[in-house]
Amino acid sequence: MPFTIDNTILLFSLLLFIGVFTTKFSARFGLPSLVFFIAVGMVLSKFIYYDNAALTQLFGIMALIVILFEGGLQTKWRNVREVMVPSLSLATLGVVLTTLVIGVSAKFILDVSWLEGMLFGAIVGSTDAAAVFAVLGNKNIKQRLTSTLEVESGTNDPMAVFLTVSFIQLIQSPNANIFTLILSFFWQMGLGLALGLLLGKIAVWCINKINLDSSGLYPVLAMAFAIFTYSSTSLLKGSGLLAVYMMALWVGNSDLTFRHSIFRFNEGFAWMMQILMFILLGLLVFPAELVQITWQGIALSVLLMFVARPIGVFISTMLMKFTAKEKALISWAGLRGAVPIVLATYPLLAGMENGHLFFNVVFFVVLSSALIQGATISPLAHALGLSQGKKSVVPHTLELVSMGKTNHEIVEVHVDEHSGADGKELRQLKMPQDSLVNAIIREQKMITPRGNTRLQAGDTLYVLARKGQNEEIKALFHQQVTEQDSANV
Higher pLDDT, 341 or 443: 341
According to DSSP, residue 394 is labeled P
Q: Which of residues 355, 383, 411 is at a domain's end? A: 383
Q: Which of residues 314, 348, 383 is at a domain's end? A: 383
Same domain? 228 vs 184? yes
Q: By residue range, what is the domain housing residue 417? A: 397-488
Same domain? 253 vs 192? yes
Residue 2 included in any domain:
no
pLDDT of residue 320: 87
Higher pLDDT, 231 or 44: 231
Lowest mean pLDDT, pick from 29-33, 141-145, 175-179, 400-404 = 400-404
The yes-or-no verdict on residue 389 having pLDDT over 60 is no
pLDDT of residue 390: 52
pLDDT of residue 225: 97
The yes-or-no verdict on residue 335 having pLDDT over 50 is yes
C-alpha pair distances (Å), 390 with each of 133, 207, 398, 444, 468: 18, 36, 24, 19, 30
Lowest mean pLDDT, pick from 258-262, 323-327, 361-365 = 258-262
pLDDT digits (tens, 9 = 90+) for 393-445: 444 455 555 455 566 777 778 787 777 777 888 888 888 887 888 888 887 78
Q: Of the ranges 51-65, 304-318, 414-428, which is most confident? A: 304-318
pLDDT of residue 398: 54
Confidence class of residue 483 from pLDDT cuts 50, 70 and 90? very low
Backbone angles phi, psi at 394, to 5 degrees: -85, 125
Same domain? 373 vs 410? no
Residue 4 included in any domain:
no
Number of domains in the chain: 2
Residue 1 included in any domain:
no
Same domain? 412 vs 344? no
Same domain? 65 vs 118? yes
The yes-or-no verdict on residue 472 having pLDDT over 70 is yes
Q: Strand pairing partners for 466?
A: 408
Q: What is the CATH number of the domain that holds 460?
A: 3.30.70.1450
pLDDT digits (tens, 9 = 90+) for 153-206: 888 888 889 999 999 999 988 887 888 888 998 999 999 999 999 999 999 999
Query: Are 107 and 114 in contact, with CB atoms under 8 Å apart?
Result: yes
Same domain? 29 vs 118? yes
Query: Are 247 and 229 in contact, with CB atoms under 8 Å apart?
Result: yes
Please provide the average confidence, as pLDDT, over all residues in the chain.
Answer: 84
Same domain? 325 vs 440? no
Same domain? 207 vs 311? yes
Residue 103 included in any domain:
yes
Higher pLDDT, 318 or 259: 318
Q: Name every residue whose Cβ is closer than 8 Å to that of residue 32 and which is 6 or more positions away in sequence.
A: 26, 131, 134, 135, 335, 337, 370, 374, 375
Confidence class of residue 230 from pLDDT cuts 50, 70 and 90? very high
pLDDT of residue 289: 84
pLDDT of residue 218: 92
Residue 391 included in any domain:
no
